[in-house]
Amino acid sequence: MPFHRHVLANGLEVIGEVSPSARSVALGFFVRTGARDETPEVSGVSHFLEHMAFKGTSRRTALDVNRDFDRIGAHYNAFTSEENTVYYAAFLPEYLPQAVDVLADILRPSLRDDDFEVEKKVIIEEIGMYEDQPMWSAYDQAKRLYFADHPLGNSILGTVESIQNLTRDQMRAYFERRYVPPNIFVAAAGNLAWPQLVRLVEEHCGSWAGEPVAKRDARPAQGSGAFSVVAKEKVAQEHVILISPGPAVNSPERYAADILAMALGDDTGSRLYWAVVDPGLADSADTSFHDYEGTGSFVTSFSCEPGQADTVLGIVQRVLAEVQRDGILEAELQQAKSKVLSRLVRGSERPMGRLRAIGMCWSYLHEYRTTDDELKAFDAVSLGDVRAVLERYPLTQQTVLALGPLTQLQPRSDKASRRPTP
């Protein structure tokens, strides 16, 4: 599948992976901005701005935006993370001109006062909705506790207070600083004509202007090491998050870290599954690897009945300590590889999966990697590579937060846990 790159005179990049055998196209505008780029005064502005992009432009009302996407049968949306805001659509190849037109247009939103005040209420309702989801609330608070004064601890949604106090002028200023051509790139994957894509992006985005954005504070984070219990009487179960340090997104160790997380905490057949889910002690347990610019983290979580929380926490911490001491088994390594490789291949079979893969790789590494490149990198991971990750990023270096009906939590020692099935 040929890969192409073009840079507009204003600094906006266009990249594309052309797959003539595909039956659709996925297109995305990637803006390198997110929660970590915000100050406390504008906390949540990146996500709020994502919403405002769909509220209308000088050429379209909010209704027009939705209708124009619907007319071409597109699957479209956007998302905001700690480091990126992405606007995307998947559609049939013949609708490439219309898709570029709409996506480029909404990246120059009107930010009208009336729309701003209405959407402010929507955002505040969304914050309340997520706060009513205990595991999400626990993760957001645990991330804040772990990162402390590091900008990755910033909340993506912001707070009710920060959103209430945010002004349209503050949002406009943030937009003018961050939504500039050198900080945006367009990515596409699927059955597309590359010269046509370049011409369309030139036509719609060539007049955009703006100065380059300063580099981020990309220092590593080791975690605060705090232990916090947040009591919420109306929550039925106890939700516990343990976070420890991990490799950054540009580290070759990220492949071994992903394999380790899969072996340790996949939702079926992992160490934690056999230790606490299969015996019925917890209804869920998971470990995932999160990589960012400059740093990374392993996030382990579980939820269980309050009366079991002390026991389950003790088991989970002991499992983490065992893996830290002994590593994982060869059978676990191979099983984790199979799962990761299967996930990677299945995702790459759709243009939308490739869009996300090549887009995120370009955003962080500014390089193109094929599916085969990634498969080889994961397949090459050895037990020695996993051991190297454990030695550099100890799983036992934990920041812990529990949210639920309990007012205190104390890890309780347990009998030997069940070993994973090879």
Q: At how many degrees (to 10) do helices 371-379 and 330-348 cross?
A: 170
Q: Please report where in the chains the tokens 């100050």 appear, as a residue.
A: 39
Q: What are 138's two structure tokens?
A: 């626990």
Give the number of residues written for the chain.
Answer: 422
Point out the catalytic residue in the list 38, 50, 83, 238: 50
Buried b (16+ CB within 10 A) or exposed e, 111-127: bbeebbeebbeebbebb
Measure the CA angle with vertex 84, ends 80 and 86; round to 5°. 65
Q: Which residues fall within 8 angstroms of residue 281, CB to CB, at 6 or more apart? A: 304, 308, 311, 312, 315
Q: How far is Cα 338 from Cα 379, in angstroms, rounded to an integer?
A: 9
Specify whether the backbone of 269 is left (phi greater than 0), alpha (psi in -120 to 50) or beta: left
Q: What are 348's two structure tokens?
A: 């790459």
Give yes or no: 13 in active site. no
DSSP 313-353: HHHHHHHHHHHHHH---HHHHHHHHHHHHHHHHHHHTSHHH
Which amino acids are annotated catalytic? 50
